[in-house]
């Protein structure tokens, strides 16, 4: 196993190791469930799109949920349950990432995307600029469109298999467009970056210099492969912390998206007061008891399971990179430092007759990927592959891609 002193570390697996012991649900169970990932397309299509994992959940969580279901009481919970969840969240973040969160300066909500919408709504006005580093998880763009905010887009540059920003051109963009807030995604979906301290410091300093708020979506914080380490931007100094909102949840790392529970923490009482003045009690609602119980269990007892999960994802990452290099050397894959998402560049292949390459792949390879253009304009040749499945399914999907794409049109 990895370094037990390091809560973020995972085992050092060789590229050939594939199944390290995390349970994977069988296809009949997945297709028979209400899963959108598994049911949106036909039974002949292998789904590698929505960010759900095909793994079974941590035993500590399934036992809590089973106990809750069996007891047969589904009434209102004691208010202390919410306090306990906030406390567990604060402890988890302090222990693993060194971020001090005051539970009284955090709230529970039902989803991270809700937190993004609420913060954008409370702290910006229509037509205010909002800075986003693209390609980006589609709801970051959707919120701006839906709330009529002005997208200030910085397109990251691929260098040495990593998407990065150039601080001077970013600074020039901010100076010109004067965005009110930066919507940061770290670790970054879809490009798999885990931003370094230096990069985060540069972003934080730009925020201070140009008086931008920062909303930091850290939902993938637990899914990071050593030697990379997740650093919350709010740990990089008081000036940065007090303008930062951190939002996260157990939905990605513990595969519980359907239970709907998320956290939003405020970097200063002033930010929380401003938020509370807009969203008075009950406007946003609270998560279900099942979501609260599962989050509490994950953040209290989930560390060991998470370690195995990250081990499996690392093995999958190594496997997929090796297979792609062998079978589809012309496909570019950004190195995956964190998350379970591979951002693939199919520019070498045509998508004539289709809107984008993911459409062609779905039709011809029978593999459903996320379509590039949903992550930013002009990304028709790109697609996102979800690698959180069994190694066997992953291999089969790459084989299907290779067979279909051999016929370049």
Ligand X SMILES: Cc1ncc(COP(=O)(O)O)c(C=O)c1O
Residues 191 and 161: beta-carbon distance below 8 Å: no
Closest separation in Å from C-beta 118 to ligand X: 12
The pair of structure tokens assigned to 377 is 């304009």
| Cβ distance to ligand X smaller for residue 25 or 261 | 261
Closest separation in Å from C-beta 262 to ligand X: 5
Of 55, 93, 123, 137, the one binding ligand X (CB under 6 A) is 137
Q: Is 181 in the site for ligand X (CB under 6 A)?
A: no
Closest separation in Å from C-beta 352 to ligand X: 31
In the beta sheet, which residues pair with residue 333?
344
| Contacting ligand X within 318-357 (CB under 6 A) | none
If phi over 0 gives left and psi between -120 and 50 gives alpha, with beta otherwise, what is residue 72? left
Other beta carbons within 10 angstroms of residue 208's beta carbon come to 15
Closest separation in Å from C-beta 176 to ligand X: 27
Of 58, 107, 262, 344, the one binding ligand X (CB under 6 A) is 262
Determine the interface stretch with ligand X among 10-18, 110-118, 227-235, 317-325 (rule: CB under 6 A): 110-118
Closest separation in Å from C-beta 383 to ligand X: 15
Q: Is 53 exposed, middle or buried (0-12, 13-18, 19+ CB in 10 A)?
A: buried
Closest separation in Å from C-beta 220 to ligand X: 6
Q: Is 51 in the site for ligand X (CB under 6 A)?
A: yes
Q: Is 257 in the site for ligand X (CB under 6 A)?
A: yes
The pair of structure tokens assigned to 98 is 């060194």
In the beta sheet, which residues pair with residue 249?
262
Q: Is 54 in the site for ligand X (CB under 6 A)?
A: no
- Pinpoint the alpha helices (H) of 33-128: 36-39, 59-71, 80-97, 112-123
| Cβ distance to ligand X smaller for residue 40 or 176 | 40
Of 246, 249, 286, 320, the one binding ligand X (CB under 6 A) is 249
Q: Is 315 in the site for ligand X (CB under 6 A)?
A: no
Q: Is 111 in the site for ligand X (CB under 6 A)?
A: yes
The Cα 234–Cα 267 span in angstroms is 8
The Cα 34–Cα 46 span in angstroms is 16
Which residues neighbour 231 within 8 Å (Cβ) at sequence distance 6 or greater?
97, 195, 196, 197, 200
In the beta sheet, which residues pair with residue 367?
46
Angle between helices 303-327 and 391-406 (to 10 degrees): 20
Closest separation in Å from C-beta 310 to ligand X: 16
Determine the interface stretch with ligand X among 14-22, 27-35, 107-115, 330-338 (rule: CB under 6 A): 107-115
Q: Which residue in the shown chain puts its C-beta closest to ligand X?
A: 111
Residues 337 and 193: beta-carbon distance below 8 Å: yes
Which residues neighbour 382 within 8 Å (Cβ) at sequence distance 6 or greater?
135, 343, 344, 345, 346, 357, 372, 375
Closest separation in Å from C-beta 401 to ligand X: 22
Of 217, 318, 345, 371, the one binding ligand X (CB under 6 A) is 217
Q: Is 286 in the site for ligand X (CB under 6 A)?
A: no
Closest separation in Å from C-beta 248 to ligand X: 9
Return the half-sphere exposure (C-beta side, CA atoms, 13 A cut-off) of residue 329.
1
Of 61, 85, 112, 331, the one binding ligand X (CB under 6 A) is 112
| Cβ distance to ligand X smaller for residue 252 or 360 | 252
Interface residues with ligand X (CB under 6 A) are 51, 111-113, 137, 185, 189, 217, 219, 249, 251-252, 257, 262
């Amino acid at each position: 196993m990895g370094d037990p002193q390091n809560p973020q570390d995972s085992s050092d697996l060789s590229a050939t190791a594939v199944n390290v012991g995390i349970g994977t649900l069988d296809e009949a169970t997945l297709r028979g469930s209400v899963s959108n990932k598994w049911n949106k397309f036909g039974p002949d299509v292998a789904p590698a799109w929505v960010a759900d994992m095909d793994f079974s959940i941590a035993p500590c969580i399934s036992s809590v949920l089973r106990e809750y279901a069996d007891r047969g009481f589904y009434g209102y919970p004691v208010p202390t349950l919410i306090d306990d969840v906030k406390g567990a969240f604060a402890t988890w973040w302090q222990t693993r990432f060194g971020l001090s969160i005051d539970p009284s300066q955090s709230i529970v909500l039902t989803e991270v995307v809700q937190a993004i919408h609420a913060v954008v709504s409370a702290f910006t006005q229509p037509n205010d600029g909002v800075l986003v580093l693209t390609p980006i998880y589609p709801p970051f763009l959707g919120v701006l469109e839906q709330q009529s905010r002005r997208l200030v887009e910085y397109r990251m540059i691929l260098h040495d298999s990593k998407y990065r920003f150039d601080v001077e051109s970013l600074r020039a963009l901010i100076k010109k467009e004067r965005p009110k807030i930066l919507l940061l995604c770290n670790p970054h979906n879809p490009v798999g970056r885990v931003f370094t301290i230096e990069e985060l410091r540069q972003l934080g300093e730009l925020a201070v210099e140009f008086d931008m708020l920062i909303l930091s979506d850290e939902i993938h914080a637990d899914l990071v492969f050593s030697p990379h380490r997740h650093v919350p931007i709010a740990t990089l100094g008081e000036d940065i912390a007090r303008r930062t909102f951190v939002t996260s949840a157990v939905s990605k790392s513990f595969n519980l998206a359907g239970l709907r529970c998320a956290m939003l923490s405020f970097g200063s009482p002033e930010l929380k007061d401003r938020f509370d003045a807009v969203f008075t009690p009950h406007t946003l609602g609270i998560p279900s008891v099942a979501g609260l119980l599962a989050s509490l269990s994950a953040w209290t007892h989930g560390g060991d399971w998470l370690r195995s999960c990250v081990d499996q994802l690392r093995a999958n990452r190594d496997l997929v990179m090796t297979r792609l290099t062998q079978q589809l050397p012309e496909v570019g894959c950004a190195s995956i430092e964190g998350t379970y998402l591979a951002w693939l560049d199919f520019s070498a292949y045509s998508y004539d007759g289709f809107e984008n390459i993911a459409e062609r792949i779905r039709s011809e390879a029978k593999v459903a990927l996320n379509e590039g253009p949903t992550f930013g304009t002009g990304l028709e040749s790109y697609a996102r592959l979800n690698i959180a499945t069994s190694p066997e399914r992953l291999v089969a999907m790459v084989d299907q891609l290779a067979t279909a794409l051999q016929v370049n049109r």
